[in-house]
Amino acid sequence: MKDKLYEFYLKCKSRIKALSSDEFIFLLRKSGGVKIGKGCKIFNTRNVCIEADPVLLEIGDYVKITQGVVVVTHDYSRSVLRRVYGQIIGDGAPVVIGNNVFIGINSIILMGTELGDNTIVGAGSVVKGKFP
């Protein structure tokens, strides 16, 4: 039920008023257990996409996520192989965002990424890997 609430928001967000940062964070926490620390801010929530299995996403304290950011904890691009091998092959890995992190406009954080404390992700970045 909890993740259905977030899915409903994603489907309807173009037709409803933008949520405040606090409302969006509340929804993420309640939608299945995304761990989000204190003092976080998500700017322009209508243009932020958190497409994650809630148990695979952890966001530390005082994180700033700007507009257009996409965070994903899965990769189903290999599902293309279904046509060749007859099965869907997907993958997922945790995303961990440390404390006091800034994620710039239109950045993409891919599955398996770990951003350490005090990290700055520049605008338009595509990030995958471990950054202490």
User: What is the mean predicted confidence (pLDDT) over 80-101?
Assistant: 82
Band of the pLDDT at 55, cuts 50, 70, 90? confident
The β-bridge partners of 42 are 65
- In the chain, where the domains are located: 2-131
d(CA 8, CA 3): 9
Question: Does the reported pTM lie above 0.85?
Answer: no
CA 65/CA 127 separation, integer angstroms: 14
Residue 85's pLDDT is 75
Q: How far is CA 102 from CA 4, 23, 121, in A?
A: 28, 20, 6
Q: What tokens were used for 112? A: 């398996």
pLDDT at 129: 96
Between the CA atoms of 52, 58, 62 and 68, what dihedral angle is there, to the nearest 10 degrees? Answer: -20
What's the pLDDT at 11? 65
Domain 2-131 top-level CATH class: mainly beta
